[in-house]
Structure 1
């Protein structure tokens, strides 16, 4: 029977080695592959599950174990892989050149030497490992595979000049974050991949890049270990890293391992340095460029080795075996790893002397081998291991204790660093829960730990995306160079303008405003995107408004408003029949045809709103008519200035010939006692229209009630009457009634016009009261027109007969005095408001000289039955009252 085949498939990246191993494993009845990263193990696990189904495939890493009962294919990390291959028909070890790594090399060396399949063994890695593999395994079948595509040096580039689908590699979390932040500001963002991320976070970050949501990915050198990405260019932010001992420059083979991520299958890739990222050593030498492009590297001559199966007679024996040197010249002693450093440190503790027997020693070594996921260092990690060992000395860790520790970490609050720390801590507990003999209710606790890690990973992905991905900028970067008609911009019901699902601003009416939360550097791009699509969006808005009859558009103080936005303005003077509109500049973004149609619709709507102003237009036309005299034209202009109302004292009546009045009455002008006005303009519709058009900015009573409470400033169409205001046409009716009552009084019958001015007369105030005027307001209003209220005195004590009624006198102001009383004034309140200037002095008989006694028989005219110089008894009280007044 021939020995199982051992094949070494070597070559640079992008040669299909991993794909070949998957195909070969699936062709066997069972198999196992060991990978350098659990991220890669998880990726291949998903691929094999798609081929063989979940029940046939297992995933085993330090923190995660998915092991169906009937699993036949195992995807593992190198550390979790069985030492001897586990008896599988096929066994493969990926990236075997890592056997020369100072920290983990001894693990890969052991798998290279001891992991074997029953039928086939495959070693995958770089061609640099060929000599040492051939030396250690003489009968190996060596196959070198060429790279599918060409890898060329593209020179150093600034971050702003990086081509799309680029990967930027840094060697510290601070450098990765700073580069990702710069890419977010300038290029829309980047995905972030680091070895410390959980598989869920890593996969979701990679998905951002693979789906095209971002065009850049920033990663540590973990990207070089088999992550298959659609990368066309790899940019090195630095060419040096800290290897656990010192900071050193990468070897050309290490550079090639990372640069080889560029290019997929037969698509060529490129690599280069990144300028301005803080890496002073990020410049390739000519020798390094040649080595990377031609895949020619110095071969590996030594592999690190450590005893894979130490004796467990005592703790000291374990340390001795792990510190022993190898027997082959191709192998070198492995540098002290953290597990051995922790074992040495704890071996000096008092409790270590109590560890007896191979089983306890083995168990103690397994506890010391707990990975330092938190990268806390030997001292801190040793304290954690000590507490773990104290809990395990009794046999198992209680489920309640483990559940409490897991629950402490189950919170998604905090920033990226805090969440990474929690994920590292939960990875420690996930590792502990995977051990079959460490935790009670192992499966339940392991499931809880995985669930918490998944939640923390989701939260970390969100934080990374929020911080390093500007989805809006990323989307715009993809579309801004396209035809504006193809830009995927949509308008939400609330006016939000979206590009795909990212808000770029808001449309209020026809005004576009950039999202106020946008960064200053993004505003120019957002404005450019909005302006490209605005003509199409605004044309649709205008068409929709026209179809809905311009619903929601109003006229306010000469401004055509849509909501809170002014979209046009009335130009003055306003002709109600042909209003002139000045569209707002926001309408200039409308296409020409759409703009003209919309402005025409607005003009028609404004003409409809201003239709009640036809009486005003009639006055305008009359003022320009050839039939109007210059004096009539002057009065009409005064009337227009007063928006349909002007007081007599400001109307210029003293120069208006009487023959001009018929023409003015014909066009709707009324000459009142105190005001000249156009009654048609005192109705609600014209007053509202004047307010809307901005013709009259005074406040109005929209119902134009006859009487309203006094207010300041004075509303249009009203005049003051004490604590009330009365519409001027209603006031004119009351004045007319008062004059008619005066004309019918005793003075008019006597025919003495001069005496009739001050003669008392009776006035029925029922009409005034019916309008809502109070008695005080009636007296003040009539007082403004020269009517003085004379209160009827009660009968004297002991007198009989009816009391004297309230009466009125008409005492107009003298020529040149001010006509009409101001608001809040009335008869007797001021001199000149219906009072004679001889107030407080005795009246003299007609014909008598002022201040001189009258002669005998020169008294007031006597009645027929009255003696000379003796007043009639029935008129005695009236005479006395008249004199005192």
Structure 2
């Protein structure tokens, strides 16, 4: 029977080695592959599950174990991989050149020498490992695979000149954060990948880059180990790093491992250095450039080795075996790793004397092998291991204790550093819970630990994204150079403008306002994006408004308003027949066709709003008519100036020829006892239209009421009645009723001062108080005679109040200042002055002199008779 085949598939990055191993494993009945990283093992696990199904595939790492009962294919980290391959048909080890790593090299060396498949074994890695593999495994078949794409040197570049889809490599967290912050400010942000991040967080950050949400990724050398990225350029911020012992320059092979991330499949990549970031030694030599481009590196001559199967007779024997030297020249003793350092330190403690027997020694070594996820150093990690051993010495750790420790870490508050510390701590407990003989209720506790790690990883990803990714700037950087019609801007219902899912500002009516939360440096970019898309967005907005029949558009005081913004105003609204619109400047951004259609819709709507002003239009046309005499035209102009009302003395009624009155009545003019007015313009609808059009400087908010509290200045269409106001057409009805009662329903006496009884039910129904009625009728020359009370001891109905019409040549006093509509109060002159000798004298109620303050001049008796004649006619 022939020996199982051992193949060493070697070559630079981007040669398809891992893909080949997956294909070969899936062609066997069972198999296992060891990887250098947990996240790489998880990535391949997902791929194999898609081929073989979940029940056939297992994932085993230090912190996670998914192992179905019938699993045949195992994806593991190198440390979790069975020492001998587990007797499976196919076994592969990825990145075998890590056998030369100071910290983990002995693990890879052991798997390289001992892990074998029953039918096939495959070793994957760099060509630098070829000589030592051939020396250690002479019968191994070496297979060289060429790189699919070309890798070329692109020189030094500033951060501002860095091409998109670039990876920047630094070797300290401070430098990684500084570069990521600069990229956020100037290029929209960057994803961050470091070895200190949890695998979940690293995957989420890589996903940001892979999905195109950011065009840059900043990483440590962790990026060079198996991460498959769509990177076209790798920029080194530094070419030196601290390797745990000293700061040294990277070897050409290490440079190539990182630079090889540029280019995928058959797409070429480039590498270079980054200037202006404070890096050290960040310049490639000619020799290094040649080695990287041609994939020619100094071969490995030594691999680190440590006894993989030590004796557990005692702690001293265990330490002796772990420190033993190899007997092959290709192998070198491994530097003291942290597990051995902790073992040696604790072996000198008093409690170590109680550790006897191979089972206890083996168990103690397993505890010392707990990885230092927190990178806390030997001293701190040894204290944690000591406490863990004390808990395990009696057997299992209680589930309640473990649950309490996990719960302590289950909080997402804190900054990036705090969350990283919690994730490192929870990874320690996840590792502890994975051990088969350490924790009671192992499966439940492991699930809890993984759930907490997932929540913390999500929170850390969010913190990194918030700090180092300006999504809005990143999105705009991708689209600003494109055709404005293709800019992916959308309008939300609340007016927010989004580029993809990032707000750039808000549309208030037709006015674009930049997001107030935007940084000063971003405002120019946001304004540019908004300006490019506004014509299209505004046209859509205008079209939507037109289709909805301008719903929400209002006319307020001569301004056309929508969404709290003025979109047009009536420039000359005096003539309601021809309203002239002056569009707001924001409408100038509308395309010509859309603007004209929108303005036409607004003009039609304004005409509809101003339709109740048809009586005013009728008066305007009449004032220009050839049939109007000069006296009629003068009265009409007075009415227009008073918005449909003028007092008799303002109108100059005494000079108006009687033959002009029929013409005025035909156009809607009424001649009242005290006022000349157009009743149609006193209704609520035309008054509201005047207020909307902004042509009534004295609107009233309660125009639907006929009686309102007195205001200053006096609203057009109203006259005072004591402490109240009454609309002039309502007042005219009361005057007419009084004159009718005086003329035909009195006490039988005819004449100027004959008393009569007046039914006040109409006046009371309008809301006027008795005092207001007395004052109002007093202004028209009516004086009330109080009814006499019954004599003491008399019975019968009370004598009613009676009225007399006693107009005074000097006018009456209604007790209320009268204002000219639209004008100032009359000034006091002469004997009508309040407090003067003549005030309040005379046979009837007086209004004072001609210029008494706030009181209109009362018509003379002959004018009052003429008014009565008009009413009765």
Interval containing the TM-score (normalised by the shorter chain):
0.7 to 0.9
**Matched residues, number:** 832
Normalization by structure 1: what TM-score? 0.86
What does 1:772-811 align with in structure 2 at a 5 Å threshold?
A: 772-794=767-789, 806-808=802-804, 810-811=806-807
Judged with a 3 Å threshold, the aligned counterparts in structure 2 of structure 1 residues 831 and 722 are, in CA distance, closer, same or farther, namely: farther
Match of 2:79 in 1: 79
Match of 1:640 in 2: 640
Q: Which moved more, 1:768-777 or 1:574-583?
A: 768-777
Q: Per the alignment, in what secondary structure is the counterpart of residue 228 of structure 1?
A: coil
What is the CA-CA distance between 1:723 and the residue it aligns to? 2.7
What is the CA-CA distance between 1:150 and the residue it aligns to? 0.6
What is the CA-CA distance between 1:655 and the residue it aligns to? 6.6
RMSD: 3.5
User: Contact 1:786–1:813 at 8 Å: present in 2 too?
Assistant: no
User: Structure 2: how far apart are the matches of 1:561 and 1:842?
Assistant: 55
Q: Deviations over 1:51-102 (max 9, x none)?
A: 3333332222111122233333322212222333333333322222222222
Q: Per the alignment, in what secondary structure is the counterpart of residue 155 of structure 1?
A: strand
User: Contact 2:698–2:716 at 8 Å: present in 1 too?
Assistant: yes
What does 1:300-699 align with in structure 2 at a 5 Å threshold?
A: 300-628=300-628, 632-651=632-651, 663-699=663-699
What does 1:123-162 align with in structure 2 at a 5 Å threshold?
A: 123-162=123-162
Judged with a 3 Å threshold, the aligned counterparts in structure 2 of structure 1 residues 621 and 124 are, in CA distance, closer, same or farther, namely: same
Match of 1:249 in 2: 249
Q: Deviations over 1:387-435 (max 9, x none)?
A: 1000111122122222222233233343333332222112111111222
Structure 2 spans left out of the alignment, 5+ residues = 820-824, 844-873
User: Contact 2:723–2:816 at 8 Å: present in 1 too?
Assistant: no
Match of 1:27 in 2: 27
For 1:764, which of 751, 758, 765 is the aligned residue? 758
Match of 1:171 in 2: 171
Normalization by structure 2: what TM-score? 0.87
User: Contact 1:813–1:832 at 8 Å: present in 2 too?
Assistant: no
User: Contact 2:642–2:716 at 8 Å: present in 1 too?
Assistant: no
Structure 1 spans left out of the alignment, 5+ residues = 844-885
Judged with a 3 Å threshold, the aligned counterparts in structure 2 of structure 1 residues 108 and 30 are, in CA distance, closer, same or farther, namely: same
What is the CA-CA distance between 1:468 and the residue it aligns to? 3.5
Judged with a 3 Å threshold, the aligned counterparts in structure 2 of structure 1 residues 348 and 654 are, in CA distance, closer, same or farther, namely: farther
Match of 1:814 in 2: 810
Q: Deviations over 1:823-860 (max 9, x none)?
A: 699xxxx98499995689999xxxxxxxxxxxxxxxxx
What is the CA-CA distance between 1:790 and the residue it aligns to? 4.0
Q: Per the alignment, in what secondary structure is the counterpart of residue 372 of structure 2?
A: coil
Judged with a 3 Å threshold, the aligned counterparts in structure 2 of structure 1 residues 320 and 733 are, in CA distance, closer, same or farther, namely: same
Q: Deviations over 1:655-691 (max 9, x none)?
A: 7666665554453333434333222211122111111
Match of 1:52 in 2: 52
User: Structure 1: how far apart are the matches of 2:747 and 2:304?
Assistant: 137
User: Contact 2:746–2:756 at 8 Å: present in 1 too?
Assistant: no
Q: Deviations over 1:237-273 (max 9, x none)?
A: 3222221123322222111111100111111001122
What does 1:165-314 align with in structure 2 at a 5 Å threshold?
A: 165-314=165-314
What does 1:697-716 align with in structure 2 at a 5 Å threshold?
A: 697-700=697-700, 704-716=704-716
Which of 1 and 2 has greater Rg? 1
User: Structure 2: how far apart are the matches of 1:171 and 1:394?
Assistant: 43
Match of 2:849 in 1: none
User: Contact 1:539–1:591 at 8 Å: present in 2 too?
Assistant: yes
User: Contact 1:812–1:834 at 8 Å: present in 2 too?
Assistant: no
What is the CA-CA distance between 1:3 and the residue it aligns to? 4.1
User: Structure 2: how far apart are the matches of 1:631 and 1:334?
Assistant: 121
User: Structure 2: how far apart are the matches of 1:161 and 1:634?
Assistant: 79
Q: Per the alignment, in what secondary structure is the counterpart of residue 566 of structure 1?
A: strand
Judged with a 3 Å threshold, the aligned counterparts in structure 2 of structure 1 residues 839 and 170 are, in CA distance, closer, same or farther, namely: closer
Q: Per the alignment, in what secondary structure is the counterpart of residue 668 of structure 1?
A: coil
User: Structure 2: how far apart are the matches of 1:564 and 1:190?
Assistant: 40
What is the CA-CA distance between 1:530 and the residue it aligns to? 3.6
Judged with a 3 Å threshold, the aligned counterparts in structure 2 of structure 1 residues 626 and 249 are, in CA distance, closer, same or farther, namely: farther
Q: Which moved more, 1:482-491 or 1:425-434?
A: 482-491
User: Contact 1:786–1:833 at 8 Å: present in 2 too?
Assistant: no
Q: Deviations over 1:105-162 (max 9, x none)?
A: 2222222333333443332222223333334344443333221111111222233332
User: Contact 1:787–1:834 at 8 Å: present in 2 too?
Assistant: no
Judged with a 3 Å threshold, the aligned counterparts in structure 2 of structure 1 residues 769 and 24 are, in CA distance, closer, same or farther, namely: closer
What is the CA-CA distance between 1:813 and the residue it aligns to? 5.4
Q: Which moved more, 1:767-776 or 1:241-250?
A: 767-776
Q: Per the alignment, in what secondary structure is the counterpart of residue 156 of structure 1?
A: strand
What is the CA-CA distance between 1:345 and the residue it aligns to? 1.8
